[in-house]
Amino acid sequence: MGKALIVYASRSGETKRIADLMGEGIRIQGSEASVVNVTDVKKVEDLEGFDAYVFGSATYHGEMMQGMKTMLFLAEKTGLEGKVGGSFGAYGWSGEAPGRIFDTMKNVLKMDMVSGPLMLKSALLGGGTEMAQGYGKDIAKKL
C-alpha cells in the first residue's frame, strides 16, 4: 500500500474540493492519501515520506498561485526523481496552472507522471466528481 501527498492552492475552494475527491479515489484503490493546503508546506521535511505526489493550483491571471510556485522550488530540494506524480487545478477562464505544474514535475523534478494534468472548471459540473476520483485511482494504480 502506497502513500500519496496531495498539495493544493485554492482561491475559492474549488481546487481543494478536487484535491479531496482525488484523495477519495486513491483511498478507494487501497492506498493512503494526505490532502494538504500549500500554506502548510513550509520545509523539505513536510514533503518527505510519500510514494506519490499530486500538486494542484487554481489558475489566477493565467498563472498558478504564488504559494504553489514557492512550494515547487521547495520540492526541487526534496529529491522526488522517479516518484509517481500528477497535477490538477480548477480554472474559470484559461486554465494554464495544471499544465505548468505538470511540466515542472515531469521536466524539472523528473517524476514518473500519470498521463496529463486534470483540469476542471468545477468538481460539481459535467462528471467532475468522477473525473477527480478517477485521477486519484490512476495515481494509486501507478504505485
**Residue 113: pLDDT band by 50, 70, 90 thresholds?**
very high
Q: What distance in Å separates the CA atoms of residue 143 and residue 68, rounded to the nearest whole number?
A: 24
Range of the domain at 83: 3-142
For residue 124, is pLDDT > 80? no
- Residue 9, pLDDT score: 95
Q: Which of 9-13, 16-20, 93-97, 102-106 is predicted with the least confidence, judged by mean pLDDT?
A: 93-97
The residue-averaged pLDDT of 98-116 equals: 94
pLDDT of residue 122: 65
The grid coordinates listed for 139 are: 495515481
CB atoms within 10 A of CB 27: 16
Q: How far apart are CA 125 and CA 21, in angstroms?
A: 13
Q: What is the pLDDT of residues 4-62, one digit of tens each?
A: 999 999 988 889 999 999 999 999 999 999 999 999 999 999 999 999 999 999 888 87
| Reported confidence tier of residue 126, pLDDT bands at 50, 70, 90 | low
Q: What's the total number of domains in the chain?
A: 1
Count other Cβ atoms within 10 Å, centred on residue 9: 27
pTM for the model stands at 0.92
- Above 80 in pLDDT, residue 92? no
Burial of 45 (0-12, 13-18, 19+ CB in 10 A): exposed
Across all residues in the chain, what is the average pLDDT? 91
With a pLDDT cut of 90, the percent of the chain lying above it is 72
- CATH number at 56 reads 3.40.50.360
Distance of CA 84 to CAs 37, 57, 72, 93, 141, Å?
A: 20, 18, 15, 29, 10
